[in-house]
A and B are shown apart, each in its own frame.
Chain A
Amino acid sequence: MTHTGQTAAQPAAADASGQGLNARIVVERGSFRLDVALAAAPGDVVALLGPNGAGKTTALRALAGLVPLSGGHLRLDGAVLDRTPPESRPVGVVFQDYLLFPHLTALDNVAFGPRCRGASKAQARAVAAGWLERMGLADHAGVKPRRLSGGQAQRVALARALATGPRLLLLDEPLAALDARTRLEVRAGLRRHLAEFEAVAVLVTHDPLDAMVLADRLVVVEHGRVVQEGTPSDIARHPRTDYIARLVGLNLYRGVAEGHSVRLDAGPAVTTDEALYGPVFVAFPPGAVTLYRERPAGSSARNLWRCEVVGLETHGDRIRADLTGELPLAADLTTVAAAELGLQPGATVWATVKAGQTHAYPA
């Protein structure tokens, strides 16, 4: 609450003064080991993105103090919180299904935090009313949670988490409980509130769109470890694992570059614009792939592979062909093109990609 917009505008990563979040979360549970390092400056919104079971929610619960750390450390604004119980951490949590107290009104749900942190009943209610007002829910103050819509419940949950003035806001799959249309609207609202929030926000999601719209920085977690982190655009352009490549819709291969030619681990070589040496990733969008029924004669594309159609599915007004063969890849083409090619599972096709449409970057 005391921080101004200036601090909020500072760039990523915890600064030397110790402001913000600096954590290494290690949680061991049976054979599963979570080991995730997180650093964020006040004003940052960090998204933990990963498949189900990657350990994202466990990381969030560890940050909240609901799961004890097996190792690592947790510092927030310079204070060590490793062993601090959840009720003493300056942390607010928006749970996946909100967990609004069903027996309390929206106002009393939001007032709960301030009341627990020592405010008088009247003060707590005044603070809560202010937050509901900010969320556009002043009319719903006296309503019990079961009578709120999904979007309204989400905003009450956000107000409840923010009402204690946390220095770390945690959101667990904040949009997962909403239907598609509400989601769009709530996502926009949440983005605005997160932008206004002056401390660190960490959200967990398995939805890349949520992550990219809401967060300044993504931390991709798979099997309990960070596999990649960076800005949304960086991650969308330079995926480093199959999971991320699928999320952002790219064909991704590992290989060894020698200048403009990359010998892929999958077999064939790919010609790229970039001249690199050593281990690299090569990525290209499915839309950059052109398919031919016969081997194209005199084609300028050097990246030419013989493939077999495994499956077809519609993607909006386009068709995504799943191919195997010399190089397994996904290709997008129009419905007309698919019909002209007579594509069907089992059909043999030739796939080409122009060097200018592939993108290589160091592994």
Chain B
Amino acid sequence: MTRSGTSDAAAAPLTGGPRRGRVRGPGVPLPLLLPALAGLAFLLLPLVALLVRAPWRALPVQLTSTEVWQALQLSLVSATAATGVSLVLGVPLAWLLARTDFPGRGLVRALVTLPLVLPPVVGGVALLLALGRNGVVGRGLDAWFGITLPFTTAGVVVAEAFVAMPFLVISVEGTLRAADRRYEEAAATLGASRFTAFRRVTLPLVAPGVAAGAVLAWARALGEFGATITFAGNFPGRTQTMPLAVYLALQNDPEAAIALSLVLLAVSIAVLAGLRDRWMTAS
């Protein structure tokens, strides 16, 4: 800018500066602003409608019915159990993906993330083929151990874990990759085996990431519908979780469906708030 020989040329960028600044200022171009507002409205409108049409007066009665409580309880228990399964299996899997190098690791990683994009119903069908009474593994489970998974509460947990675990694995793997590996080296020079280093150093260091992943998985498990209804069915008190109850209620008692939806909405907002306060802003 200072190199130009004539004063005219030198003056040009000076006048050009503020002009460019004005374009970048608070004014947002309409071609961006309008779709953005429409998008926001599109996302918020259904939630507003849910609140507007909520049978507020009948709500206490709706929410205290046995069916609702059964469904809510089952949802909370099965989502928590599915999160537990995801933690026990998913954290080691995330470690394997983040810390070791084996042939086909990229493929394994892709397969792990597949349930993220797979339609849950397909997941449910696949689970039936694997763990159903006549499934590849299910037949053995039934014949040798007398364990039957489909259409049981345990089946709900299996279906939810199948859908939710990838969220945890991806989240924890990212945290592990970002963590400073030299702490593990320091632990090794102090005599810690790789497992001890993982347990006593790595895991505490990545705990916030694991917790965030667990919450994501939990929320996903709580809302799980397709795989659950396909693999576990829809038996009140046994496999009928909140989303299934909502869907069923919508057929014959729309007010109950709205009430149930409000409960799920409240839980989701609570999860989001908890996530943001604890982990999102901390990182």
Residues of A within 8 A of B (CB): 64-66, 85-89, 91-93, 95, 99, 101-103, 112-113, 116-117, 160-161, 164
Q: How far is the CA of A112 from the CA of B193 in the complex (A)?
A: 12
Q: How far is the CA of A93 from the CA of B200 in the complex (A)?
A: 18
Q: How far is the CA of A66 from the CA of B186 in the complex (A)?
A: 9
Q: How far is the CA of A116 from the CA of B192 in the complex (A)?
A: 5
A-B contact pairs, 28 of them (CB 8 A): A64-B189, A66-B189, A85-B188, A86-B188, A87-B189, A87-B191, A87-B192, A87-B193, A89-B189, A91-B189, A92-B189, A92-B190, A93-B186, A93-B189, A95-B182, A99-B180, A99-B185, A101-B186, A101-B187, A101-B204, A101-B205, A103-B205, A112-B187, A112-B192, A113-B190, A116-B187, A117-B191, A164-B190
B190 & A160 in contact (Cβ 8 Å cutoff) = yes
Residues of A within 8 A of B200 (CB): 112
A101 & B201 in contact (Cβ 8 Å cutoff) = yes
Residues of B within 8 A of A113 (CB): 190-191
User: Shortest distance in angstroms between A63's beta carbon and chain B's nearest beta carbon?
Assistant: 10
| Chain B positions 163-221 with a Cβ under 8 Å from a chain A Cβ | 180, 182-183, 185-193, 196, 200-201, 204-205
B205 & A164 in contact (Cβ 8 Å cutoff) = no
Other-chain contact of B190, A66, A102, A103, A116 (Cβ < 8 Å): A116
A116 & B191 in contact (Cβ 8 Å cutoff) = yes
User: Shortest distance in angstroms between A107's beta carbon and chain B's nearest beta carbon?
Assistant: 14
Given A65-B188, A99-B182, A116-B187, 17 more A-B residue pairs with CB atoms under 8 Å apart are A64-B189, A85-B188, A86-B185, A87-B191, A91-B189, A92-B189, A93-B186, A93-B189, A99-B183, A99-B185, A101-B183, A101-B187, A101-B201, A103-B204, A112-B192, A116-B196, A117-B191
Residue of A nearest to B185 (CB): A66
Residues of A within 8 A of B186 (CB): 93, 95, 99, 101
Q: How far is the CA of A16 from the CA of B191 in the complex (A)?
A: 29
Residue of A nearest to B182 (CB): A99
Q: How far is the CA of A66 from the CA of B183 in the complex (A)?
A: 12
Q: How far is the CA of A65 from the CA of B196 in the complex (A)?
A: 17
Residue of A nearest to B193 (CB): A87
User: Shortest distance in angstroms between A60's beta carbon and chain B's nearest beta carbon?
Assistant: 11
Residues of A within 8 A of B201 (CB): 101
Tell me what chain B mostly uses at the interface: helix, strand, loop, or mixed: helix
B188 & A87 in contact (Cβ 8 Å cutoff) = yes
Residues of A within 8 A of B183 (CB): 99, 101
1/0 per residue B252-282: CB within 8 Å of A?
0000000000000000000000000000000
Residues of A within 8 A of B196 (CB): 116
Identify which of B188, B191, B196 gathers the most chain A CB atoms within 10 Å of its CB. Answer: B191
Q: How far is the CA of A88 from the CA of B183 in the complex (A)?
A: 17
User: Shortest distance in angstroms between B192's beta carbon and chain A's nearest beta carbon?
Assistant: 5
Residues of A within 8 A of B188 (CB): 65-66, 85-87
Residues of B within 8 A of A161 (CB): 189-190
With A66-B185, A95-B186 known to touch, is A102 a contact of B205 (CB < 8 Å)? yes
Residue of A nearest to B186 (CB): A99
A112 & B185 in contact (Cβ 8 Å cutoff) = no
B190 & A112 in contact (Cβ 8 Å cutoff) = yes
Q: How far is the CA of A164 from the CA of B200 in the complex (A)?
A: 17
Q: How far is the CA of A99 from the CA of B182 in the complex (A)?
A: 7
Residue of B nearest to A112 (CB): B190
Residues of A within 8 A of B187 (CB): 101, 112, 116
Residue of B nearest to A103 (CB): B204
Residue of B nearest to A110 (CB): B190
Q: How far is the CA of A116 from the CA of B194 in the complex (A)?
A: 11
Residues of B within 8 A of A65 (CB): 188-189
Residues of B within 8 A of A116 (CB): 187, 190-193, 196
| Chain B positions 138-183 with a Cβ under 8 Å from a chain A Cβ | 180, 182-183
Q: How far is the CA of A86 from the CA of B205 in the complex (A)?
A: 21
User: Shortest distance in angstroms between B181's beta carbon and chain A's nearest beta carbon?
Assistant: 10
Q: How far is the CA of A229 from the CA of B24 in the complex (A)?
A: 62
Q: How far is the CA of A151 from the CA of B183 in the complex (A)?
A: 20
Q: How far is the CA of A194 from the CA of B183 in the complex (A)?
A: 24
Residues of B within 8 A of A99 (CB): 180, 182-183, 185-186
Residues of A within 8 A of B191 (CB): 87-88, 113, 116-117, 164
Q: How far is the CA of A99 from the CA of B180 in the complex (A)?
A: 10
Residues of B within 8 A of A86 (CB): 185, 188-189
Residue of A nearest to B201 (CB): A101
User: Shortest distance in angstroms between B204's beta carbon and chain A's nearest beta carbon?
Assistant: 4
User: Shortest distance in angstroms between B41's beta carbon and chain A's nearest beta carbon?
Assistant: 45
Q: How far is the CA of A82 from the CA of B252 in the complex (A)?
A: 75
Residues of A within 8 A of B193 (CB): 87, 116
Q: How far is the CA of A102 from the CA of B200 in the complex (A)?
A: 12
Residue of A nearest to B180 (CB): A99
Residue of A nearest to B192 (CB): A116
1/0 per residue B77-109: CB within 8 Å of A?
000000000000000000000000000000000
User: Shortest distance in angstroms between A32's beta carbon and chain B's nearest beta carbon?
Assistant: 20
Residue of B nearest to A157 (CB): B186
Residues of B within 8 A of A160 (CB): 190
Q: How far is the CA of A65 from the CA of B205 in the complex (A)?
A: 23
Residues of B within 8 A of A102 (CB): 205
User: Shortest distance in angstroms between B80's beta carbon and chain A's nearest beta carbon?
Assistant: 26
| Chain B positions 53-96 with a Cβ under 8 Å from a chain A Cβ | none
Across the A-B interface, the 3 shortest Cβ-Cβ residue pairs:
A116-B191, A113-B190, A86-B188
Q: How far is the CA of A347 from the CA of B186 in the complex (A)?
A: 55
Q: How far is the CA of A66 from the CA of B187 in the complex (A)?
A: 11
User: Shortest distance in angstroms between A232's beta carbon and chain B's nearest beta carbon?
Assistant: 27
Residue of B nearest to A89 (CB): B189
| Chain B positions 17-55 with a Cβ under 8 Å from a chain A Cβ | none
